[in-house]
Chain A
Amino acid sequence: MLRPFDSLPRRGRGPLWRDPAARALVFQVLLLIGLASVIGLLVHNTLQNLDARGINTGFDFLDNRAGFSISQTLISYDGNSTYGRTFVIGLLNTLLVSALGIVAATIIGFTVGIARLSPNYLLAKLATVYVELFRNIPLLLQILFWYIAVIRSMPSPRQSLSLGDMVFLNGRGLFVPAPEPQTGFWFSVAALLAGSVAAMLMARHNRQRQSRTGRRLPMGWIIPALVLGLPVMVFLVSGSPLQWDVPALKGFNFSGGLTVLPELLALWIALSIYTAAFIAEIVRSGIQSVPKGQTEAARALSLPPRLTMNQVIIPQAMRVIIPQMTSQYLNLIKNSSLATAIGYPDLVAVFAGTTLNQVGQSVEIMAMTMAVYLVLSLLVSLLMNIYNARTALRER
């Protein structure tokens, strides 16, 4: 007669290699040792190679004189600045185009996404065409298109497109008047701050007032009056202490004013339009993910369409939208490194390009550049996760 349990002792834990927890621990330790050896080998090998070729290691080069010029510098920079400075310049340029891109892509994306769901046939179809057109053409091509075919093909400075002889657009970029604050201007800035604080207090007061009496103050008038009206009044009373440096045609080009480089313009437009096509789809799917019953319940409670959208649909759509928006923002930041293709001086072009060519310390420079994108991405993720956690639904 067969006795199936004969091979097992009546009690006891059995040998260690049959315990899943012990096995898992052993495998993890082995993996860690393996990983450490590979990294160690790589580092050792690299150091040896660098040493053999007489290449310096370490970050001392950051203090050396760079000696090349950069077309767009948000902080002061000249040929005598250090390589460390070129890093900061490149980083700021990357941040600038990313921030501009994120703002524009979000606005265009939400507009197109909502338009796709519009009952207006023409509007919905136009939005569909927009999405299908721009998300299906490679981004690099779009950047080149905007740069070469649109902006660089603008007329020469003499035939600039102009807006009231203040703003000029030509093949060399966009020229806008630059504000030059005079003494006393800070009164207006202080008024703006005071007005904003007052507006926030008013908004809070209004919420309490609505809680108490059910009526809302006409905030649509009060907030602009406080935020804009107050500083404008102070500005006028203090004798308009702000002058504009208007760009003017001198010789072959404009001088004075603020110049937006054609590279920045092209990159900004391309990044915004490309990313907006994806954001539009995310917004559409987010809104459509809210069950139809929610709209019906809101309508049955006689909520008008705008309130239904703001109070019922959008808050629920956001939990679908936010995680996907995060990855689009990250894509935009990373895609901004395609700037190199048209010579916009972003971090990759300036630091991982020119600086690397001059210094030759590829390991350090590549590591720093990659670390920047990693840190930026993690920061954006963190912010979006915090926002997402605050809007998450509570269940069980």
Chain B
Amino acid sequence: MGSVQTTSSDIPMIELQRLNKWYGEFHVLRDIDLTVRKGERIVICGPSGSGKSTMIRCINHLEEHQAGDVIVNGITMTRDVKRVEQIRRHVGMVFQHFNLFPHLSVLDNCCLSPVWVKKTPRKKAVDTAMMYLERVKIADQAHKYPGQLSGGQQQRVAIARSLCMHPDVMLFDEPTSALDPEMIKEVLDVMIELAEEGMTMLCVTHEMGFARTVADRVIFMDEGQIIEENDPETFFNHPRSPRTRAFLGQILGH
């Protein structure tokens, strides 16, 4: 997949239409409208509890929304298990805490889903896995177990594991928040490389440097709403909303 060079086009990869979600009484997502075109790189930021993680978790149905529509590649998300599994095949996800399977080697982590879900011959799955592990520069650790790796290495494996399913979109849920400072760069480098190859990406992150270099659009969320949405240049230099200004002041100010 990675070799396909696409720039932003007008095919909508993901559409969120008037998306609403409640946790009991708490209204987490309020009327979210968002369209992501193929090849677009989107960075989502906002204070904690603003609903950014919940929003991207609705895209692969890790969270269920109560009103509105989630449309991935033209297919509307429902509760139908088969449909959900079909959509998930095309949507990769990287978590804050990596969530590698500790009882499987790095290589088996990468092969599990291709072999069992996509019925790929194991040899082919291993080749693909090694190719992606090579790209995240960790192929020499393929036979180690997650517990034997550093946080940065684990996160790079998690990215490779997702890529092994050849996803059309990658969701990143605060991929560097659980990492020691010296490991953040190695993960961001992989993500930048992925972005440059044209992968459609949605990243929840506070790495504003990454947003400036890579993002086509930066989205600011607060209290379950999209407050502001702009290209990085305008977003960082001329934020419209006072809430955006306050937030940027806090995370860039020191």
Contact = CB atoms under 8 A, between A and B. Distances in A.
Nearest to A318: B103
Given A297-B95, A311-B116, A315-B103, A394 B148 contact: yes
A304 B88 contact: no
Interface in A260-317: 291, 293-294, 296-304, 307, 311-312, 315-316
Interface in A197-230: 210-216
Given A293-B99, A297-B101, A396-B148, A302 B117 contact: yes
A395 to B, nearest CB: 3
A291 to B, nearest CB: 8
The winner among B81, B89, B92, B113 for most chain A CB atoms within 10 A is B113
Contact of A311 (B89, B99, B112, B122): B112
B85 interface: yes
B119 interface: yes
B95 A296 contact: yes
B81 to A, nearest CB: 7
A214 B148 contact: no
14 contacts: A214-B119, A215-B119, A216-B119, A293-B99, A296-B99, A297-B158, A299-B60, A299-B88, A300-B88, A300-B93, A301-B162, A301-B165, A395-B102, A395-B148
Contact of B101 (A214, A294, A300, A302): A294
A393 interface: yes
A32 B110 CA distance: 56
Contacts of A212: 121-123
B97 interface: yes
Contacts of B85: 302, 304
B60 A214 contact: no
Contacts of A300: 60, 62, 88, 91-93, 95, 162
Given A294-B99, A394-B145, A210 B122 contact: yes
Interface string B59-96: 01010000000000000000001000110110111010
Given A211-B121, A214-B121, A395-B148, A301 B88 contact: yes
A213 B97 contact: no
B9 interface: no
A211 B62 contact: no
B145 A301 contact: no
B121 A396 contact: no
B145 A395 contact: yes
A322 to B, nearest CB: 13
Nearest to B94: A300
Contacts of A307: 116-117
A139 to B, nearest CB: 35
A316 B103 contact: yes
A303 B113 contact: yes
A315 B117 CA distance: 18
A212 B116 CA distance: 13
B123 A297 contact: no
Interface of B: 60, 62, 81, 85-86, 88-89, 91-93, 95, 97, 99-103, 112-113, 115-125, 145, 147-148, 158, 161-162, 165
Closest 8 CB pairs of A and B: A395-B147, A297-B99, A302-B88, A211-B122, A301-B113, A214-B121, A293-B99, A300-B93
B147 A396 contact: yes
A208 to B, nearest CB: 9
Q: How many A residues touch the partner, as a band? A: 20 to 34
A297 B146 CA distance: 14
Contacts of B103: 315-316, 391, 393
A391 B95 CA distance: 26
Contacts of B113: 301-303
A395 B101 CA distance: 12
A296 B118 CA distance: 18
B117 A303 contact: yes
Given A214-B119, A300-B88, 7 more contacts: A210-B121, A212-B122, A293-B97, A296-B62, A297-B158, A300-B92, A300-B162
B14 to A, nearest CB: 15
Contacts of A297: 93, 95, 99-101, 158
A291 B99 CA distance: 9
Contacts of A395: 102, 145, 147-148
Nearest to A307: B116
A299 B87 CA distance: 11
A396 B144 CA distance: 9
A238 B134 CA distance: 61
A210 B101 CA distance: 22
A211 B119 CA distance: 9
A284 B223 CA distance: 37
Nearest to B117: A302
B124 A301 contact: no
A391 B103 CA distance: 8
Interface in A211-260: 211-216
Contacts of A311: 112, 116
Contacts of B158: 297
A55 B27 CA distance: 84
Interface in A351-365: none
A393 B62 CA distance: 27
Contacts of B86: 302
A315 B23 CA distance: 32
Interface string A39-77: 000000000000000000000000000000000000000
Contacts of B122: 210-212, 214
B60 to A, nearest CB: 6
Nearest to B88: A302
A65 B244 CA distance: 96
A394 B147 CA distance: 7
Contacts of B102: 316, 393, 395
A156 to B, nearest CB: 54
Interface in A336-395: 391, 393-395
